[in-house]
Every structure is written in structure tokens, then in C-alpha cells.
Structure 1
Amino acid sequence: PPEDELASIEYELQEVEAKLQSLLDRKQFLQQRRDRLKDSILLKKSNDLANHNWSEKNFEWSNKVDNILKTVFKLDGFRPYQLPSMNAVLSGQDVILIMPTGGGKSLCYQLPALVKSGVTLVICPLVSLMEDQLLALKALNVNAAILNSQSSKQEVDSIQKAMLDNKSLLRLLYVTPEKLAKSKRFMAKLQKMYQMGRLSMLAIDEVHCCSQWGHDFRPGEWRTHLSEYMSFIVLSGLNRDLYYGDPFRWPHVLNYKFLGVLKSMFPEVPILGLTATATTQVIVDTQKMLNIQGCLVLKATFNRPNLYYELANALVVLSLTAEDGEIEVRPKPSVQKECLDELADLLKVRYAGKSGIIYSTSIKDCEDLMQDLRNRGLRAVVATIAFGLGIDKPDVRFVIHHSLSKSMENFYQESGRAGRDNQPADCIVFYRFMDVFKLSTMVFTQQTGLEKLYGIVAYCLNPVRCRRMIIASHFDEAWESQDCNRMCDHCRHPRETKEVVITEYCRSLFKIMANAASMDSRLTGQKLIDAWLGKGATNLRVRDVKVPALSREMAEAVVAHLLIEGYLKEDFHFTPYSTISYVRRGLYPCRTLLYEYCLTFGLTLDQKRRQHCQKNIASQCPYVVKVFHQQTKLPHSHQLVAAKIVPRAPVTLILPHRQLHPRRNNRLKVVRRPTVVAV
């Protein structure tokens, strides 16, 4: 019959599609493997250089280095990897130094600049950071200067004259990448300096910006809004007034790619690249961009043992106001006002009298949050992600991300601004499903924007894995479980997990999207969830799609995981006023339809209590069950339902959200409180 033949063809087409997908997956795997092998070959030379003992103090300049450290910088010793990087640069080696925020990267080029004759050129993305370092160096009687777009003609002439004067005491010259890319006159001066032997070293701060996989610095992100009510933080040890507006002069669009010409122009000058965040991929790409393949790579550990990582997500929030030592479970509010209340509770209870930074995505969000905190009489620095680069404020006790970072690299660098004094500090992220789509519309035009965003989303969605282990794994660092020392919410408060087969859920989502496509309609993430849960517009629902036995938060987690894994895909459309993200089928839908796909959820304490109750109340507490039904007059078919909703104290039964009738309150009073807790 034609029907059987049609079914056979459909089945065979599915098999062919699965085989094609398998071949494409294999091709992608082989390409990635090939690229990794190429990168490993390039890194072999770097590893060989790293085997040399650069920490020794038997170099010809070692005594001078120790003397300058104590007499000029007033320090007693070096931090990890500072001395090796200095010895390598003074030996003429090109170096990429990866050191956590607050690790002392600036000293790694400032001190060698005083050891070597000539001028060290420091390329830095932030004018404010350069100004802070300049003032600090002048306080130490170190001759340094800045050239930027705000420099007067007299300053420019004086500095350029000093660049070519063998008798000049100038040791450090700070510039932005734009100065190199746009000023031919300045580049000509540098060439002349090189010919005279006066260009001793090139130091590139935030060197990961050279890589296509590095951060995306945009002009709008450099603006920070601070309130006069938040002026309790003193930046870089300076008595600088913080005011509402633009506290610093922001650079124009950065052009790090131009720096690739420096090695060909000045081949004998060592390059020192510095960054706090760089994966192996970023390191290799940066080496290629700067033409320093195989250079020495010094990589300090990414582990900051004093930082506590915590997530306030849509499934569980570890409350700060929980009584009697328990952890209260509640979701991150979906309403902005409730979210602000939650944040205010943090500042009032947990961080009263402590300094910290609250990061948000946009300038408008910063303004709204700042105004709300000011109205409540609370103090904190509220800023976009640019704030904090090079800030010398060691006693920051908390860094809160009011919304997601754009990548794991951003998150690590921003959270690393807490606890530079090596005292305990907290790094908290507020996560909500819809934040993913808000951020994706901001980063999708970047080559790796979505990939990096999904990386931080995966960090938030993971229900049990040590958060510090996730960070270490992202940066290709070896990790042992004991390294965390219970300094993340998962290790300090481990949760039970529940594995759910979501294959049928995937089919349901695909049916909903196919139904919308048949009506020439597009689905946002929120509309897709609503239709799946039987809510929202009726025409978007599908009759044969069963409403899942999941909470909305768990349903959102399913969709988020499918986005990360490629089963779903975001489709972006422009309007005159905004960019909208729609959700459609991704590259691997057939794999979901043909194979069993499981997802692991972390149970909240409330869910664990209910599960335990359902499994054990009937078998372990038969007397309680008997008394319960005698007093409530409920039929035995209501046993498990009643067990789910009985509260710890009878008085709470009068709350509107309780399912039992208030009149049963008196009947339940005969049940002892410990029994009610067990139920």
C-alpha cells in the first residue's frame, strides 16, 4: 500500500539524515583535532622555553633587580611568576604572562624598564589605568609619561623630544593602541628610537585583545556611572572624587590587530604580553597575531582560594537571611523590583559596611540600579564591565553580577577584582533564563560571541559540578577536587540530582516550532516556553503536545541546554528599535529524535524534602498517616498530595498559596510539630 511505502521512505530518510549528521560530526571532530595538533606543535617550543629555570638569581642583572625592588618599589619580595617573567624579558625573550587579577602584572614591566637603558613602551587600552599608574610611578620618583588624544601640543613635543634624547631620564611611555594605529608621526619617532637603540621593551597590557577569541572592548562599555553616595571607595589609593557621569576619559575603538606589525618593525625588541584571562586557543591566536609563535608562556594558576563562587539562579538561591542555620530556597525574581529587593537584602544583611562592585550589562541598568540603591541609603559601586581594570582596591569583599557576563573570560576577570588582599570575598552571579536572549542580541555579531556566551550559561546551568573546577577546566588548568576547599556553593551545599529523559520533550518543542512555522510565525524563547507549558497564545499550542510535568524553571533549563548543545538555535532579526532573538531548530534535531537524551537536574532542598516524604512517609510513619486522615477527613487518595503541601507550622495554612482550606487549620493542630516537619 502507498501508506506503508511512504512510511518506509520516511524512515529511510531519517536514517540517511542520521548517517549524514554522523559524518558531519566526524568531520567537525577531525577538523578540531587537526587544529589542536597544530596548536600543540606551536606550543612545544613555548614549553621547552618554560623548562628553563627563569627563577634563578644568578643573572648579571639579578643584584640590580633586587636593589630596585627594595629601594624604588619598597617591596620585600616577588609574587609568583614576577621574577621569571622579568629574567626572560631581560634575556631578550618574547613572553606572554598570564596572571590572575591583582597578581602584580604591572611590576613585570615597570621594574625591567629601570634595569635596562632606554624607554619601555607600554600599550594599554584604558586611559584611566595609564593615569593611575603614572601617578603611582611619580610618587616613587620614576620618570614616566603618557601620550594620548588629550595630551597638549607642548606635552607631545616635550615627550617626543625625550624619546630621541640619549640623556633623557624617561623610562616608561604609555600609549593606547589607537595612538600607534593612527599616528604616522609617532610611529616614525619609534622607528628612529629603535635605530638609536633607545627602544628597550614593548609591554602590551590586555594582550588577549589581539585574539579573535579575546574580549570585545566597545566604546560604550567604558562608561561607568557612579553616585556621590558611592564615593566610599578610593581608587588606586588616590583621593579621587567619584561622581555621577564619566569619571574617566574613555578611548576610541581599540585596534589591537595593528600591533602585529611591531615585531617586524622592531625585531630585536622583546615583547611582553600581559593578561589575566587566556585559554590555550587565545594564547596560540595571540602569538600568531603578534608574530611571536613559540614564545615563552608563563601561566600562573587561575585558582583564587579566597574567593567563594555562588550562583543565584532560576532553580535555587542560597538565601542570606535564612534562620537557624538552614539554607532557604527561593528563585531569582522575574520582576525587576523584586530582584532589586533581593539585591538590597544582600547589601543590608551580608555586606553591611563592606565595599564591593555590582556589575550590570547596560548603562541604563546601572543608572536604574544605582538610583534604587541610593533611595534605599545603600552604598556600592555600580558599573558596566569596563570598571575595575587596574584598580588598586584590595579590600573589595564582594562582586555581584546583576546580570550575566558575556563570557567565562569576562566573568573570571570581573570576579577576580574581589579579595585582592587575600581575605575571603564572594563572587555572586544572578542568573535568569531570559537574560540569555538579552545578551545574545548584544554579542551575536561577534565572531565567537554566542559561543562564549553559551560557555557562561553552561556554568550557570550545571547543577552539581564544582564551580571552581568549571573555571579551571575552561582555562585548561589541572584541578583536584580538594582544591576547592568548599569555596563554592556546590561543594559547600551539595545537592542531590535527578536524571530526566528529555527526548520526548525535544519532540514536543520541535512540533511547537513546526506549528508556528506553518503559520509564518516566529517564537521567542518566552513564547516557546509558554506554548510548551500550555500558556500564552492558543494558536501557538499544539493539541497533541502534552504539558510536561516540569516547573517553569526546569522547562527553561531544558531549552537552555538544547541551545547550548546545538539542538536549538537563535535566529536574530532587526527592527528599527531593537534586535529580537527567535528560537528555531538547530543543526542536530535528528539526533534528538532518534536517540535517548538525558538531562541532570539538581534538586532544591524543598524538592528533596518532598521526594523524601513521598518515598518514606507511608512506610516509616503509618501512625502519622492514620492520624492525618482521621483529623483532616481527607480520603487516602490524597495522601501524597497532602504530604507535599503540609507546612511546618499550622499557622501558615492561612496563606493564600496553600491548597488546603483554612478551616482545616484547627484540625491539623493535633499533629505534633516534628511530625509535620517530617511530612
Structure 2
Amino acid sequence: MEDIAENIGISDEERLAAVEHELKQVSTEIQRLSERKSELMAMRDKLRDRMNLEKSKQLADKNWDKTDFPWSGKLQKTLQEVFRIQEFRPHQLPTMNATMSKEDAILIMPTGGGKSLTYQLTAVVDKGFTLVVSPLLSLMEDQVIALKALNIDAGMFHAQSDKSETNRLMQALTDQKSSLKLIYATPEKLAKSKRFMSKLQKAYQMGRLARIAIDEVHCCSQWGHDFRQDYKFLGVLKPMFPDVPILGLTATATTKVIIDVQKMLDIQGCIVFRATFNRPNLYYELRPKPSAMSECVDQLADLLKHRFANQSGIIYTTSIKDCDELRDQLRQRGLRVSGYHATLDAALRSKIHRKWLTGEYQAVVATIAFGLGIDKPDVRFVIHHALSKSMENFYQESGRAGRDGKPADCILYYRLADVFKLSTMVFTQQTGLQCLYGMVEYCVDVHRCRREMIARHFDEVWDRADCDRMCDHCRMPREPKQVDVTKHCRTVYKLLAHAASSDTKLTVQKLMDAWYGKGPAALKLTGISPPSFPRDTAENILAYLLINGYLKEDFHFTPYSTISYIRRGQLASKLEDPSHTIAMTVRGKSITTDDKAAKKTPITGDKISESTKRKRTPTEESEKSKKPKVYVIESDSD
């Protein structure tokens, strides 16, 4: 390349211009190459992921169900004589055979499916001990107590451990004569205790570390619904103990999460055993949540007194305040319930749990602090007083019903206002809003089978016939219809623009009020008539715009709280095109959102023919007749 500086007869200004031009060309080329490099790296990662998934599939297709392994007889004998269990549940034996064969594996099995037995039984049969990593002290305590009751030597290592017990366990790790079979530890303790990790290294060198079981393994993934920083440390385990098989266990994980977990734990291409997510005995139902707390409590009380009379269940809330208030109001209506949340004293939580197990309390009103490790088979109902923060949470929480295989009900109360209570809690998490909006989509969808939505979220192949009328949508005989709501979406944008012109931010409540001609006069827009359809319908329109990118949340901190304001989203420009339309789906008799024609016809509760009714409590049909009117609109995203 000719040196610009050496050209004779060229002024400095011309030389500078030439240099600037060449720099611009170089920058453009660097950017092009950088973009191409990113594309190639993404392609490489995608191909590697696909190859690892195929490897996992091929390994899982091997006949791990065989009963002619060298340890098969001992597994069966120990199962019956020590654990007093007569036969294996699905996927338990294949998982045990894989981990006894020194293979790394991940087991995805619904709550209550028997995941813990896969490492407890193998620990008893195998030489040495098994390290179990778990994030929950209460769950570890329950398992250690249960194991000791079976005369199995087990212990736990955590920040509150008794000094003498800690010393005993430390010595047992490297004692060839020790009877220790399982030692439980939190990931935080592993990360912070050099003494413990040093002992594990020595135990490994002595051949005493048989396997590592990681419970709630989805917490490793930044794409999961419950990512925990402490789990990052677990990435050192495979390099430190390369010959020790790792067994990851979770009740909820998508394919994307599993790939991320495998990378993080350095077990790419490991065997993945995946149980079906379908729980055929659970009936899924969604109800519109009344805006008045007292009306909502009245409905819950009616359910507990009639449809679920003399039956046991859980009512989940999103906050401690709601938990206490709901408990008090249900008690005032004569119901035997108690509240459960993390701020209660441990002894009191244990007492409440015990009274619920023995039937003294019909239901526990609880935050998510109540759940993991619960082993009550006859839970007949799980009611969500508000939506969960993710599909994974909802599946796991509702899955605590009907573990005995008998029919049970999972009821979710939904109202748009609850979405923004949760969004201000989760928006700082990498996938917090994405997970929450996935749950909102489940709530506002009015035609897809609810069980299908759950199954597809977890990448499971689904046939609608598999539902067998065990969700409210599949029991409704009416077909959904599409309605054009473009005009109303444009109205929302006009209201946002009008507020922005006076430098005013709108919460969803203020936006709704302005739309209906209420609130401050400065926010009202002349020439716009309030919609004649119910606010529930308007809420579903806003929910659709939000989860599909036409609107977005804008979060602002105050000294005491976080506030969510509504703004135009990344797809806002589409509505500037006059030909662009938004069609949403309604279910039931003819409903229009046209202001002039909106003589509302309510969508009532589902009608079930006598031939298709499932057996329920005797009062269910009378309870159904009281079911509130529902107006629902959403996108047809199929």
C-alpha cells in the first residue's frame, strides 16, 4: 500500500482526509469481520450443542433398565430391606445404573417423583460416600433425619453445624473404616470452606468419594428461573475430581437450561433422563381475580368450605403481607388455616407444617418458602392467589398436589395488577421478565390446552388428546374467535404520547384510568371515548401488548420502592403502518371490542356434559354455578 505521507505535492489537509478515509474503510472492515466472527462463533456453539444433545440422546437410549449389572441384585435387596420400598419408579433404576457405571447424568423428574432415592440407594450400595449439594438447609435436615431413621450414616455440613459434628464428619471423610454414606453441603459452604474442599481432595485420592449429587441443578444456569451465584463454584468439581460421576437433579428444566448446566459443570454430552411433565391426575383451572380483597377471600372460603370440604391443600401468595392478611381473613370466616413464610421462627414453621400434615389445619397460606421437600401425598388442591414468577415455579408449586395419583385441582387467580407487583421484584434478574411474561402468556391465553402450554414450555412433545379434559380450556365446548383490536391499541399509544408531552410517566393503573376517562384531567385525551367493554378486557389487551413487545416496562427506584411505568415497546413502529392490524382471540359467544357494538355477552364458566364429568366433590356443580363472569382477550399465537 502506498504511503500517503510520502506523496509529493499533496497538502497536509489532503493527506489528513486520505488518512481519515482509509481509517473509516479499515473500521468498516474490522466491524464486518467482527460481525462475521460472532456469526461463526454462534454457529460453532450451536453445532456443538446439537452434537452434545445427540450424544446425550444416544447414551440415554442405551438399555439402562437392565437388571444384570454386577450391582443389580444388591440394589434390589437394599431397596426392599433398607428403604422398605418394593419396586422402582420410572427412571430411577436407569439413573442408578448410569451413575454406578461412573457416567455423568442429569435426571429431570417432577416433584415427588423420587429423585433423592437415586443417590441415596446407590450411596448405600457403593463403597465410600456420596456428596450431596443442596441449597436448602430444611431439605437437607429432613433427608438426614429420614436416613438416620433407616440406620444409614449421614450428616450435613453448613454454617450452623455443631462443632463436634463437623469434626466427626471431617474425620469420617478420610477414614477407610467409617460408615458414613452421605454428606450434605450447601454450595455456599463448598465455596467458602477451604478445609472441607481439602478433605474432599484427600478423600478422592483415597478412592472414597463415590459420586457427587447436585440437587436443584437448574440453579447453575443463568437461563434458569432460579439462578444462584453460589452454584457457579460447582464448576470446579469436575476438574478437581475427574473420575467421580456427577448426578444433577431437577424438577424443571428446558433444553436450553440443560445445555447451559452441562457446560457450567463441564459434563457436556452427559446422559439426560427426562420423565414426562404430564401429571394426568391434575386439573388446571384459571380464574379472574376480583379487584377487591374481600371478594377474593369470599371465593376462596367458598372453595374450602364446599368444593374442597375436609380436604387438604396449599394457597400460595407472593408476599408476606398478603400471606398474613389472607390467613387472618380466612380464619375470620371460620376456616382452619395457618400462614407460613420465611420470617417466622423455625420452631413455629415446623409446628405449622406438622399440624397441616396431621390435618389440624385444612390449608396453609404460604409464600414460596413453603414447598421444597414437602412430602404429603393427599394434597387435593393448590391455589395460587396470584400468578407465579415463572412457568417453572408454577409447575413445581402446583405439582405438590395429587402425589398419591388421585384427582387434584390446581387453580390460579389472575389479575394484571399482580404482574407489576412481581415485575418490580424480578426485573434485575437476567431472565426475570422473560420468565414472568411467559407466565402471563399462560394466563391470558384463552384457547390452547393449559397442559399443552406447560409441556411445550419444557420441550415435551404433546398431543392435545393427552389432556383428557383435565383443564378448563379443554372442557369448554365453545370455539375461540378472533377480534380486531388495532384501534384500541392505537388509542393506548395516543394516551402514552399525550402523557409524555407533559413529561408525565404512566403506571398501568393510571393508563387504565386515562383510557376510561378517569383520574387527573391533564391525562385525559379529548376525542377519545371510554371503551364500553369491561376493564378485564382492557387489561388483557394491555397484557398482550406487553408480552409481545408493543409496550415495555420502565423501572424507577424510589427511597422505599420500585415503580413500573409503561412505555412504547420495540414493536411500536409497526402500529405507525396503517395496514398493520392486531387480532386477538376471545372465547365464548360473540364478543366485540368495538365501542358502539359492545353490548357485552359474558363468558360464563365451562359447561361439562354428564358423560364427560370427572368425579369431583359432591358440591362442585353448585360451586360452578357461582363462578364469576369472565371476559378474556389475547393473541392467537399458535
Q: TM-score range by the shorter chain?
A: 0.7 to 0.9
Residue of structure 2 equivalent to 1:98: 108
1:377 to 323, 328, 334: 334
Distance 1:280 1:37 in 2: 15
1:483-521 Cα offsets, whole Å, 9 max, x none, are 000000001124332312122222211111111111000
Q: Given the superposition, is the C-alpha separation of residues 553 and 31 from structure 1 closer, same or farther in structure 2, using an over 3 Å criterion?
A: farther
On the 8 A contact 1:134/1:144 being kept in 2, the answer is: yes
Identical-residue share of aligned pairs (%)? 63
Q: Given the superposition, is the C-alpha separation of residues 370 and 268 from structure 1 closer, same or farther in structure 2, using an over 3 Å criterion?
A: same
Shift, 1:547, TM fit: 3.4
TM-score, normalised with respect to structure 1: 0.76
2:410 counterpart of 1:453: no
Residue of structure 2 equivalent to 1:367: 324
Shift, 1:48, TM fit: 1.5
Distance 1:388 1:462 in 2: 27
1:346-401 Cα offsets, whole Å, 9 max, x none, are 11111111111111111111111112222223131111113121211111111111
Distance 2:524 2:48 in 1: 49
1:285 to 260, 267, 271: 260
Distance 1:37 1:486 in 2: 40
1:469 to 422, 437, 452: 452
Q: Given the superposition, is the C-alpha separation of residues 45 and 643 from structure 1 closer, same or farther in structure 2, using an over 3 Å criterion?
A: closer
Distance 1:459 1:151 in 2: 43
Distance 1:455 1:422 in 2: 28
Distance 2:212 2:133 in 1: 8
Residue of structure 1 equivalent to 2:282: 307
On the 8 A contact 1:122/1:173 being kept in 2, the answer is: yes
Residue of structure 1 equivalent to 2:147: 137
Residue of structure 2 equivalent to 1:356: 313
2:582 to 587, 595, 598: 598
Whichever residue aligns with residue 186 of structure 1, its letter is F
Q: How do 1:184-263 and structure 2 match up within 5 A?
A: 184-216=194-226, 255-263=230-238
Whichever residue aligns with residue 254 of structure 2, its letter is T
Shift, 1:38, TM fit: 4.8
SS at match of 2:249: strand
Residue of structure 1 equivalent to 2:51: 41
Shift, 1:212, TM fit: 0.8
Distance 1:641 1:559 in 2: 18
Distance 2:41 2:205 in 1: 44
Whichever residue aligns with residue 496 of structure 2, its letter is M
Residue of structure 1 equivalent to 2:547: 564
On the 8 A contact 1:125/1:254 being kept in 2, the answer is: no
Distance 2:489 2:399 in 1: 38
On the 8 A contact 1:119/1:201 being kept in 2, the answer is: yes
Q: Given the superposition, is the C-alpha separation of residues 29 and 555 from structure 1 closer, same or farther in structure 2, using an over 3 Å criterion?
A: farther
Distance 1:62 1:392 in 2: 28
Q: Given the superposition, is the C-alpha separation of residues 32 and 370 from structure 1 closer, same or farther in structure 2, using an over 3 Å criterion?
A: farther
| Paired residue total | 535
2:72 to 62, 84, 89: 62
Q: How do 1:606-617 and structure 2 match up within 5 A?
A: none
Distance 1:577 1:167 in 2: 57
2:98 counterpart of 1:82: no
Whichever residue aligns with residue 160 of structure 2, its letter is Q
Residue of structure 2 equivalent to 1:410: 393
Residue of structure 2 equivalent to 1:580: 563
Residue of structure 2 equivalent to 1:555: 538
Q: Given the superposition, is the C-alpha separation of residues 120 and 414 from structure 1 closer, same or farther in structure 2, using an over 3 Å criterion?
A: same
SS at match of 2:219: helix
Residue of structure 1 equivalent to 2:403: 420
Distance 1:543 1:31 in 2: 54
Distance 1:501 1:455 in 2: 23
Shift, 1:540, TM fit: 1.2
Residue of structure 2 equivalent to 1:333: 290
1:162 to 163, 172, 197: 172
On the 8 A contact 1:306/1:423 being kept in 2, the answer is: yes
Distance 1:262 1:384 in 2: 33
On the 8 A contact 2:235/2:264 being kept in 1, the answer is: yes
Whichever residue aligns with residue 189 of structure 1, its letter is K
1:208-253 Cα offsets, whole Å, 9 max, x none, are 0000122337xxxxxxxxxxxxxxxxxxxxxxxxxxxxxxxxxxx8
On the 8 A contact 2:377/2:404 being kept in 1, the answer is: yes
Shift, 1:544, TM fit: 3.4
Shift, 1:340, TM fit: 1.3
Q: Given the superposition, is the C-alpha separation of residues 574 and 190 from structure 1 closer, same or farther in structure 2, using an over 3 Å criterion?
A: same
Residue of structure 2 equivalent to 1:515: 498
Gaps of 5+ in 2: 1-37, 337-362, 603-638
Q: Given the superposition, is the C-alpha separation of residues 118 and 31 from structure 1 closer, same or farther in structure 2, using an over 3 Å criterion?
A: closer
Shift, 1:466, TM fit: 0.3
Residue of structure 1 equivalent to 2:14: none
Shift, 1:546, TM fit: 4.2
SS at match of 1:255: helix
SS at match of 1:397: strand
2:375 to 361, 370, 392: 392
Q: Given the superposition, is the C-alpha separation of residues 120 and 483 from structure 1 closer, same or farther in structure 2, using an over 3 Å criterion?
A: same
Q: Given the superposition, is the C-alpha separation of residues 546 and 275 from structure 1 closer, same or farther in structure 2, using an over 3 Å criterion?
A: same
Distance 1:644 1:95 in 2: 54
SS at match of 2:379: coil
Shift, 1:68, TM fit: 0.8
Whichever residue aligns with residue 202 of structure 1, its letter is I
Whichever residue aligns with residue 240 of structure 2, its letter is M
On the 8 A contact 1:398/1:425 being kept in 2, the answer is: yes
Q: Which moved more, 1:495-504 or 1:143-152?
A: 495-504
Shift, 1:295, TM fit: 0.6
Whichever residue aligns with residue 352 of structure 1, its letter is A
Q: Given the superposition, is the C-alpha separation of residues 302 and 644 from structure 1 closer, same or farther in structure 2, using an over 3 Å criterion?
A: closer
Residue of structure 1 equivalent to 2:162: 152
SS at match of 1:151: coil
Shift, 1:545, TM fit: 3.2
Q: Given the superposition, is the C-alpha separation of residues 33 and 394 from structure 1 closer, same or farther in structure 2, using an over 3 Å criterion?
A: farther
Residue of structure 2 equivalent to 1:343: 300
On the 8 A contact 2:378/2:403 being kept in 1, the answer is: yes
SS at match of 1:85: helix
2:422 counterpart of 1:439: yes
Residue of structure 2 equivalent to 1:536: 519
CA RMSD across the alignment:
2.3
On the 8 A contact 2:59/2:271 being kept in 1, the answer is: yes
Residue of structure 2 equivalent to 1:115: 125
Whichever residue aligns with residue 530 of structure 2, its letter is V
Distance 2:293 2:287 in 1: 15
Whichever residue aligns with residue 601 of structure 1, its letter is T
Gaps of 5+ in 1: 1-27, 218-252, 314-331, 612-639, 646-679
On the 8 A contact 1:134/1:145 being kept in 2, the answer is: yes
On the 8 A contact 1:464/1:494 being kept in 2, the answer is: no
On the 8 A contact 1:205/1:274 being kept in 2, the answer is: yes
Shift, 1:589, TM fit: 0.9
Distance 1:509 1:203 in 2: 52
Shift, 1:601, TM fit: 3.4
TM-score, normalised with respect to structure 2: 0.81
Whichever residue aligns with residue 396 of structure 1, its letter is V
On the 8 A contact 1:463/1:601 being kept in 2, the answer is: yes
Q: Given the superposition, is the C-alpha separation of residues 393 and 151 from structure 1 closer, same or farther in structure 2, using an over 3 Å criterion?
A: same
Distance 2:434 2:389 in 1: 10
Shift, 1:254, TM fit: 6.3
Distance 2:600 2:484 in 1: 26
Residue of structure 2 equivalent to 1:276: 251
Whichever residue aligns with residue 172 of structure 1, its letter is L
